Structure 1
């Protein structure tokens, strides 16, 4: 991937990926918040960001 910024490889932030991975394991927002030491509101914000994401060609 010569000439491409390393950060451009990732479509989601590290935290969004963590939340998403736990979400697909059927964890609740409360479970995710407790495991990642963040608030449930923050978990919901990350989920919302992931759900709004769209890939532009």
Structure 2
């Protein structure tokens, strides 16, 4: 077996974790978008990602 066969992919990307951290701070989609310099739609996409 190859060495990397046992490495696991994180459930969330770095950006998804950033969105999540702001979400639990009770920030709105608009506030998160402004803070991360992304669109509100992108924020909603990150929030709705299925794991």
Compute the TM-score of the two structures, normalised by the length of structure 2.
Answer: 0.81
User: What is the root-mean-square deviation in Å for CA atoms of aligned residues?
Assistant: 1.5
Q: Which runs of 4+ in 1 moved over 6 A?
A: none
Query: How many matched pairs?
Result: 48
Q: Where does structure 2 lack aligned partners over 5 or more consecutive residues?
A: none
In structure 1, stretches of 5+ residues that fail to align are: none
1:12-53 CA deviation, whole Å, 9 max, x = no partner? 00000000110011000000000000000000000001xx21
TM-score (norm 1): 0.74
State the match for 1:25 in structure 2.
25
- Mapping of 1:1-12 within 5 angstroms? 4-5=6-7, 8=8, 10-12=10-12
Larger Rg: 2
